Amino acid sequence: MTRGFKRLHFKPSPFPMRDKGKLVATDERCMCQHPRSKHRDTAAYGHGSCAVCDCQQFSWQAFLIQGESA
Ligand SMILES: [Zn+2]
Ligand SMILES: [Zn+2]
């Protein structure tokens, strides 16, 4: 299965996140400005350190919805 890819996630992604059928988020943004999908897993998906910068732990800042840049 693995072909030299850095394995960021071993937990299933909670995204896209829906509430009663309404799209709530396709990702979440950390205080470091990188998405949760770029953070490593801990006990939960994407709650660990950032793969892009030196952020040590995901700190929720905002929901991201695909198609919106901010
Ligand atoms: Zn971060
Ligand atoms: Zn980061």
Q: How far apart are CA 42 and CA 40, in angstroms?
A: 7
Inside any domain, residue 32: yes
15 is a domain residue: no
For residue 45, report the distance from its CA to the centre of ligand 2, in Å. Answer: 15
Asked if residue 17 is part of any domain, the answer here is no
In a domain, 12, yes or no: no
**Ligand 2 centre distance from Cα of residue 58 (Å):** 8
Ligand approaching nearest to the C-alpha of 36: 1
Amino acid 56 reads Q
**Mean of per-residue pLDDT scores for the chain:** 90
Is residue 58's pLDDT more than 50? yes
Count how many domains the chain has: 1
Residue 58 belongs to domain spanning: 24-64
In a domain, 31, yes or no: yes
pLDDT bucket at 3, cuts 50 / 70 / 90: low
> How many whole angstroms separate alpha carbon 65 and alpha carbon 44?
20
Judge whether 7 lies within some domain.
Answer: no
Supply the pLDDT for residue 1: 47
Asked if residue 9 is part of any domain, the answer here is no
